């Protein structure tokens, strides 16, 4: 289905519709264990929502089940990075904030990082 949606987005761009608007119709969830932490609804840095989610989950999965999982945020120009153990999980943009009806990338990053931290803490290895 995601391939179909990506094809739809490409067709919309060729037809003259904004690519971002076409991609906003799809969403790609980011999981930590069984918890959906957030969803990407727009493209960023040349990656569609699916590629962004896949990259985020690759980073999360490196640490999943471990005993250490510190979630932080860091400004990146107009955007905000969400980090897990100082490794980038996601770049939160103004377009992400608009898609989620948040005031700013910083506000959305705070919300998403809180959910990620809670979900990650639930998966930590127990002593």
Per residue in 83-95, pLDDT (tens digit) is: 999 999 999 999 9
Containing structural domain, residue 94? 26-123
Q: Is residue 12 part of a domain?
A: no
Q: Is residue 7 part of a domain?
A: no
DSSP the chain: -HHHHHHHHHHHHHTTS-HHHHHTT--EEEEETTEEEEEE-S-BTTB-HHHHHHHHHHHHHHHTTSS---EEEEEETTEEEEEETTEEEEEE-HHHHHHTT-S-HHHHHHHHHHHHHHHHHHHSPP-
The proportion of the chain whose per-residue pLDDT surpasses 90, expressed as a percent, equals: 69
Q: Is residue 60 part of a domain?
A: yes
Query: What global pTM score does this model have?
Result: 0.78
Q: Is residue 58 part of a domain?
A: yes
Q: Is residue 53 part of a domain?
A: yes
Confidence of residue 3 (pLDDT cuts 50, 70, 90): very low
**pLDDT by residue (tens digit) across 6-32?**
443 443 443 344 444 444 458 999 999
pLDDT value for 127: 59
Q: Is residue 10 part of a domain?
A: no
Confidence of residue 68 (pLDDT cuts 50, 70, 90): confident
Contact 63, 46 (CB under 8 A): no
**pLDDT by residue (tens digit) across 99-118?**
999 999 999 999 999 999 99
Q: Is residue 77 part of a domain?
A: yes
Our count of domains for the chain comes to 1
pLDDT value for 88: 98
């Amino acid at each position: 289905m995601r391939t179909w949606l990506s094809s739809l987005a490409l067709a919309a761009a060729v037809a003259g519709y904004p690519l971002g608007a076409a991609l906003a119709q799809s969403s790609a969830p980011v999981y930590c264990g069984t918890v959906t932490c957030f969803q990407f609804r727009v493209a960023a840095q040349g990656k569609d929502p699916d590629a962004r989610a896949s990259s985020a989950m690759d980073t999360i999965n490196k640490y999943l089940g471990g005993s250490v999982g510190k979630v932080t945020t860091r400004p990146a120009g107009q955007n905000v990075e969400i980090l897990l153990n100082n490794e980038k999980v996601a770049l939160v943009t103004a377009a992400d904030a608009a898609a989620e009806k948040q005031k700013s990338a910083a506000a959305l990053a705070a919300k998403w990082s809180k959910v990620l931290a809670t979900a990650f803490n639930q998966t930590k290895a127990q002593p």
